[in-house]
Amino acid sequence: MSHPRTVAAPLPAFDYTVFGGTGDLALRKLLPALYLRDRAGQVAAGSRIIAVSRSVLDLADYRKKAEAAVRRHVAADELDDALLARFVERLDYVSVNATSSEGWSDLAERFVGRGDEPVRIFYLATSPSLFGPICDRLKAAGLVTPAARVVLEKPIGRDLASARAINEQVGAVFAESQIYRIDHYLGKETVQNLLALRFANSLFEPLWNANHIDHVQITVAETVGVEGRGDYYDHSGALRDMVQNHLLQLVCLVGMESPVSLLQEAVRDEKLKVLRSLKPMGPEEVGACTVRGQYRAGAVTGGAVPAYADEPGIPTGSTTETFVALKLEIANWRWAGVPFYLRTGKRLPAKMSEIVIQFRPIPHSIFPGSAGELQANRLIVRLQPDESIRLHLMTKEPGPGGMRLRQAPLNLSFAETFGARFPDAYERLLMDVVRGNPTLFMRRDEVEAAWAWAETILEGWKTQQPKPYIAGTWGPSQAIALIERDGRTWHEDDLSNTPF
């Protein structure tokens, strides 16, 4: 579908300084997102993007690299030569070593005569080990004004202690209100739509609790492997890379109470309460309620793929998990006794993220002989691809000859209903930093509460080897047993990339 250019009102002018400006994240996600916002008219005249990294490059070379990256990662129908040329003009490049004094005075020079306008933002798209040193040197260079903002990429640490250490280091330079910890799942249109679904409709909220909901499933499935990030991934694994942040944020949005408003800290306060209500797992629960897996060679979307162990950068004998399935409980009045089943993994059969809310069966049937046909209602929020909300309802099958029941979906397809292109998550989040709106970013206490819970699993896994699964399947058989033991099944009937 071709997407016409819609023009938005510009935001205040900004200076976005992107540390890690030559890295994969900057070139694949951040620059394309900024170009697309520029194309949409949100980037005010005078705004600059100052890329920073160790490599010694002249500006012309960096601009060529950046332009090529935008051309590669933006859809052809959203590329416009004139707009791209204007965008490239906004780019500057400074070679700086985060761990030495090299280049800092060059960076400081770029800010001579610039006060708090334009909005001053430092985006740290580097290894988290550099967050502390970069912040210290920004301060020493006199670049940290009271209105400056800093954006931290995930991962914020690899456990509670390291997350606290990073938060302390950054917090020694920037106030919490200046710190934007990014979780790109919160920038996805359909994830934000969970707020609209729950709190802009009166239909669901009265049913949104243990009295009416049997269980919740959250699946975030990927077909890709480690994509050249083997070194990072092997030190991380699926629990740290996906569950501790993205999946728990989804749990929060499904599980939280209604925030007082969308303003200030209200949403983050409610998410924090969910994270603090997660039932910690002791060694027994970890054994019974979690499954970790690692893929073996197989075939994904028709092509043969190697085992995780044979991917570049993976050390021999690695026991890092590429798949997690688990059952968690939110220990509060709303959710007591309602299991949340989560699963995520690489090299699964489809790229697909969805949330399934399984309602309880009706208490009594008036349809004699239809017991086998009666199925409880199910709400399916498809986050990606083919973004949609579907409500499975029981209906009468049309035709004479008695009352036959059948489940049928009420389907709200976002593409069909709205037609517009969905901005990439980074587009929304990068502009929220310019707006000074931290609602969709993680606060320090949230990150630390998520780690405190995730650590209980990591602790239990110390003596557990990952279970093998063949690439292109839905994970180890134990993941199926995890839910089937409870008399439930993973929702898989629509799991393809084709619209339904």
Ligand X SMILES: O=C1O[C@H](COP(=O)(O)O)[C@@H](O)[C@H](O)[C@H]1O
User: Least separation, in Å, of the C-beta of 442 and ligand X?
Assistant: 13
Identity of the residue, 213 or 425, whose beta carbon is nearer to ligand NDP in the bound complex = 425
User: Least separation, in Å, of the C-beta of 303 and ligand X?
Assistant: 18
Please give the structure tokens belonging to residue 360. Answer: 């309880």
What residues does 442 pair with on adjacent strands?
Answer: 181
Q: Contacts with ligand NDP: how many residues (CB under 6 A)? A: 22
127 binds ligand NDP (CB under 6 A): yes
User: Least separation, in Å, of the C-beta of 158 and ligand X?
Assistant: 13
Residues 386-405 touching ligand NDP, rule: CB under 6 A, are none
Among 17, 53, 192, 320, binds ligand NDP (CB under 6 A): 53
- Considering only 94-102, 283-291, 324-332, 414-422, which stretch makes contact with ligand NDP by CB under 6 A? 94-102
65 is in an annotated binding site: no
- Considering only 52-60, 199-207, 215-223, 445-453, which stretch makes contact with ligand NDP by CB under 6 A? 52-60
Q: Which does 241 bind (CB under 5 to 8 A by kind): ligand NDP, ligand X, none?
A: ligand X
User: Least separation, in Å, of the C-beta of 392 and ligand X?
Assistant: 24
Q: Which does 222 bind (CB under 5 to 8 A by kind): ligand NDP, ligand X, none?
A: ligand X
- Is 246 in the active site? yes
96 binds ligand NDP (CB under 6 A): yes
Identity of the residue, 21 or 339, whose beta carbon is nearer to ligand NDP in the bound complex = 21
339 binds ligand NDP (CB under 6 A): no
Q: How far apart are CA 152 and CA 233, in angstroms?
A: 18
Please give the structure tokens belonging to residue 344. Answer: 């995520």
Phi, psi of 427 (to 5 degrees): -60, -50
Identity of the residue, 170 or 247, whose beta carbon is nearer to ligand X in the bound complex = 247
Among 54, 71, 73, 276, binds ligand NDP (CB under 6 A): 54
Residues that bind ligand X (CB under 6 A): 222, 241
153 binds ligand NDP (CB under 6 A): yes
CB 475 within 8 A of CB 342: no
Phi, psi of 48 (to 5 degrees): -130, 150
User: Least separation, in Å, of the C-beta of 13 and ligand NDP?
Assistant: 25
CA 387, 72, 77: angle at the middle one, nearest 5?
A: 60
User: Least separation, in Å, of the C-beta of 1 and ligand NDP?
Assistant: 26
Beta-strand relationship, 340-345 and 298-300:
unpaired
232 binds ligand NDP (CB under 6 A): yes
Q: How far apart are CA 304 and CA 307, in angstroms?
A: 10
184 is in an annotated binding site: yes
Burial class (CB in 10 A: 0-12, 13-18, 19+), 383: buried
364 is in an annotated binding site: no
User: Least separation, in Å, of the C-beta of 440 and ligand X?
Assistant: 14
188 is in an annotated binding site: yes
Residue of 497, 230, 465 lying closest to 346 (CA atoms): 230
Residue of 97, 113, 187, 110 lying closest to 151 (CA atoms): 187
For ligand NDP, what does the binding mask look like between residues 9 and 28, x meaning CB under 6 A?
A: -----------xxxxxx---
- The residue from 3, 215, 235, 246 that is catalytic is 246
CB 170 within 8 A of CB 131: yes
Among 128, 157, 225, 466, binds ligand NDP (CB under 6 A): 128
Phi, psi of 244 (to 5 degrees): -60, -25
Q: How far apart are CA 388 and CA 383, in angstroms?
A: 7
Identity of the residue, 27 or 330, whose beta carbon is nearer to ligand X in the bound complex = 27
99 binds ligand NDP (CB under 6 A): yes
154 binds ligand NDP (CB under 6 A): yes
Please give the structure tokens belonging to residue 221. Answer: 């499935």
Identity of the residue, 134 or 274, whose beta carbon is nearer to ligand NDP in the bound complex = 134
Q: How far apart are CA 183 and CA 423, in angstroms?
A: 16
Identity of the residue, 222 or 354, whose beta carbon is nearer to ligand X in the bound complex = 222
Q: Which does 24 bind (CB under 5 to 8 A by kind): ligand X, ligand NDP, none?
A: ligand NDP
462 is in an annotated binding site: no
Burial class (CB in 10 A: 0-12, 13-18, 19+), 304: exposed
Supply the residues annotated as catalytic. 246
The residues of the shown chain that bind ligand NDP, judged by CB under 6 A, are 20-25, 53-55, 96-99, 125-128, 130, 153-155, 232
The annotation places the binding site for NADP(+) at 54, 154
The annotation places the binding site for substrate at 184, 188, 222, 241, 346, 351
The annotation places the binding site at 54, 154, 184, 188, 222, 241, 346, 351
